[in-house]
């Protein structure tokens, strides 16, 4: 008994957000050679934040081989978290407490920045403030989480340890402990990216699609991009925001592409009231996570697998959906989950849970963003800040954190 039924096979393999309204972003084919200040390769959420930021004071061209947003952005479950995949205490063991502290505080402020941008640009993307509940699991048990909550509180983060009695009484879950944190959010990632791209376009950015960048060659003055359209794009700087499809010329030390699965219930799912205000994830490998969407859908994901291609396997999608639903049922027995959408995608991991935001080795005027973890969208915000500072001739104070 899984407690889950698959309602409509039609939506098996289709992301919930692919059907969002308001995804229209006007694009154009590349019909002649162009010259601009900055080219951004990739029109996903990272390229969208980058374009929005750089179009304020540069001429910008965004190039994508697909229609905008149709890479991993449309597959994202968009828990907009400041918590990093690796707990603060574990990250401190790897890179030292001073840097780990900076990484957490920067993620925290990036989520605030994201919310501010959405409000300033009036982007309709269902953004909602959320608490987050990080449940003890087989990676980190309740003692480790108690220590973690103290370490976070000591650096000013709004996190508190929650024991098993409160977990049972307030949240109806049987676990040995958890950390409850404030300051995260959730939203529709595709509408968010579309809104950002439209804002960039209002400031003069042009979005070219479908155009594949095949090669990039730099010289002291800039970079020439060769495309499958047969026309070159000449720029002063290029930023590769290619998600998990790294161009062959861009080395990716420490990054690993894996597969992950997600699904959404029908709208107006009956759920406990606290779940409308809370993101839930667990300290296990593979882990389960879930949250409510604006229309009352329950969005659930997890079952990550260390394979860059497993997400393309249709039979596996059904097996993974059943496994996720079974775990959810075990944790929240009263929730009857009827699967409406189920989908899978590629996902990037790094050893520290931190992204890589670096100049491209061996090339001038070229940057690449990659290796995002479970809070990849938060890192898209940070990447736009770090790279735009560099392009403006400044150095972001935290840039060193993201250079593997
Ligand atoms: C199922 C799932 C759940 C997730 N859940 C969360 C979550 O809850 N919270 C969170 O923060 N993150 C989450 N993520 C991660 C998050 O979605 C990613 O970090 C984010 O989508 C990355 O965006 P991007 O713009 O960097 O990449 P993409 O959206 O993949 O965009 C890259 C684009 O580059 C284009 N491209 C690549 N190479 C070329 C080329 N040579 N020429 C032209 N175009 C090119 C591609 O066509 C693509 O459109 C999740 C991911 C998945 C798959």
The residue contributing the CA closest to ligand 1 atom 44 is 64
- Residue range 142-190, pLDDT digits in tens: 999 999 999 999 999 999 999 999 999 999 999 999 999 999 999 999 9
Report CA(49)–ligand 1 centroid distance (Å).
12
Is residue 2 over pLDDT 70?
Answer: no
Render the burial of 56-82: b for 16+ CB within 10 Å, e for the rest: eebbbbbbbbbebbbbbbbbbbbbbbb
Dihedral sign computed on CA atoms, order 263, 308, 399, 250: negative
CB 247 within 8 A of CB 75: no
- pLDDT of 5 reads 45
Please give the distance of CA 177 from its chain centroid, rounded to a whole number: 26
Cβ proximity of 185 and 39 under 8 Å: no
Q: Report strand pairing: 232-240 vs 34-41.
A: parallel
Compute the distance from residue 314 Cα to the ligand 1 centre, in Å: 20
Q: Where are the beta strands (DSSP E) in 44-118?
A: 60-63, 79-80
Q: What is the dihedral of CA 282, 283, 284, 285, to 10 degrees?
A: 110
> What is the per-residue pLDDT across 71-82, written as a single tens digit (0 to 9) for each?
999 999 999 999
Per the omega criterion (within 30 degrees of 0), is the bond before 2 cis?
no
- Percent composition of the chain: helix, strand, coil (DSSP 3-state, to 5): 35, 30, 40
Rounded to an integer, what distance in angstroms lies between the CA atom of residue 47 and that of residue 205? 12
Phi and psi, residue 339, nearest 5°: -70, 125
Q: Give the pLDDT of residue 348.
A: 86
The residues that bridge with 162 in the sheet, in sequence order, are: 178
Q: What is the pLDDT of residues 228-253, one digit of tens each?
A: 999 999 999 999 999 987 666 666 66
Distance (Å, whole) CA 88 – CA 152: 7
Question: Residue 215: enclosing H or E segment and its boundaries?
Answer: strand 213-219
Once rounded to an integer, what is the mean pLDDT over residues 103-128?
A: 98
Among protein residues, the one with the nearest Cα to ligand 1's atom 51 is 76
Prediction pTM value: 0.96
Q: Which of 57 and 21 is assigned the larger pLDDT?
A: 57
Query: In this structure, are residues 106 and 363 in contact, taking their beta carbons and an 8 Å threshold?
Result: no
Strand pairing class (206-208; 178-186):
unpaired
262 Cβ inside 6 Å of ligand 1: yes
What spacing in Å lies between the alpha carbon of 344 and ligand 1's midpoint?
Answer: 12
* pLDDT confidence bin for 9, thresholds 50/70/90: very low
- Average pLDDT of every residue of the chain: 93
The two structure tokens encoding residue 138: 């087989």
Q: Tens digits of per-residue pLDDT, 364-377?
A: 999 999 877 789 99
pLDDT digits (tens, 9 = 90+) for 315-360: 999 999 999 999 999 999 999 888 999 999 988 888 889 999 999 9
The percent of residues in the chain predicted with pLDDT above 70, rounded, is 95
Q: State the closest ligand 1 atom to the C-alpha of 48, by its place in the atom list counted from 1.
A: 25
The whole-angstrom separation of Cα 131 and Cα 280 is 9
Q: Which atom of ligand 1 is nearest to the CA of 344?
A: 1
Give 10's pLDDT tier (boundaries 50, 70, 90): very low
* pLDDT at position 57 over 90: yes
104 close to ligand 1 (CB < 6 Angstrom): no
Q: How confident is the model at residue 205 (pLDDT cuts 50, 70, 90)?
A: very high
| Distance, CA of 117 to CA of 381 (rounded, Å) | 10
| Cβ proximity of 287 and 302 under 8 Å | yes
**How many whole angstroms separate alpha carbon 215 and alpha carbon 41?**
11
Ligand 1 site-directed mutation target among 49, 63, 71, most atoms within 8 Å of CB: 71
Residues recorded for the chain? 404
95-118 burial code (b ≥16 CB/10 A, e <16): eeeebbbbbbebbbbbbebbbebb
Closest CA to 300 of 337, 254, 273: 337
State if residue 301 touches ligand 1 by the CB under 6 angstroms criterion.
yes
SS3 label, residue 133: strand
Q: Is the pLDDT of residue 3 over 60?
A: no
Q: Is the shortest distance between the CB of 257 and ligand 1 below 6 Å?
A: no
State whether the beta carbon of 42 lies less than 6 angstroms from ligand 1: yes
Q: Is the CB of 41 under 6 A from ligand 1?
A: yes
């Amino acid at each position: 008994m899984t407690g889950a039924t698959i309602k409509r096979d039609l939506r098996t393999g289709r992301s919930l957000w692919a059907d969002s309204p308001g995804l229209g972003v006007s694009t154009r084919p590349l019909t002649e050679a162009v010259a601009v200040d900055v080219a951004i390769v990739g029109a996903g959420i990272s390229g969208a934040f980058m374009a929005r930021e750089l179009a304020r004071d540069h001429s910008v061209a965004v190039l994508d081989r697909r229609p905008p947003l149709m890479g991993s952005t449309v597959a994202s479950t968009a828990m907009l978290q400041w918590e990093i995949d690796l707990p603060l205490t574990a990250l401190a063991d790897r890179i030292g407490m001073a840097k780990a502290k900076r990484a957490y505080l920067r993620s925290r402020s990036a989520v605030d920045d994201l919310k501010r941008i959405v409000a300033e640009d009036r982007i309709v993307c269902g953004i909602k403030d959320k608490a987050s509940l990080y449940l003890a699991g087989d990676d980190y048990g309740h003692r480790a989480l108690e220590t973690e909550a103290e370490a976070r509180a000591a650096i000013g983060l709004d996190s508190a340890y929650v024991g098993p009695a409160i977990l049972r009484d307030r949240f109806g879950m049987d676990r040995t402990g958890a950390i409850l944190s404030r300051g995260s959010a959730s939203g529709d990632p595709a509408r968010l990216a579309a809104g950002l791209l439209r804002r960039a376009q209002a400031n003069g950015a042009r979005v070219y699609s479908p155009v594949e960048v095949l090669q990039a060659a730099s010289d002291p003055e800039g970079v020439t991009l060769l495309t499958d359209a047969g026309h070159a794009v000449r720029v002063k700087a290029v930023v590769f925001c290619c998600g998990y499809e790294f161009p062959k010329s861009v080395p990716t030390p420490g990054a690993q592409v894996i597969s992950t699965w997600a699904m959404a219930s029908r709208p107006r799912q009956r759920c406990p009231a606290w779940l409308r205000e809370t993101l839930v994830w667990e300290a296990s490998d593979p882990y389960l996570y879930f949250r409510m969407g604006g229309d009352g859908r329950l969005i659930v994901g997890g079952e990550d697998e260390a394979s860059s291609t497993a997400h393309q396997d249709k039979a596996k999608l059904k097996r993974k959906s059943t496994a996720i639903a079974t775990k959810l049922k075990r944790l929240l027995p009263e929730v009857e989950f009827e699967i409406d959408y189920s989908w899978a995608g590629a996902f990037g991991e790094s050893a520290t849970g931190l992204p890589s935001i670096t100049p491209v080795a061996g090339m001038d005027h070229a940057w690449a963003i990659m290796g995002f973890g479970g809070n990849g969208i938060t890192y898209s915000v940070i990447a736009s800040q770090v790279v735009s500072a560099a392009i403006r001739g400044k150095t972001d104070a935290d840039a060193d954190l993201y250079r593997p």
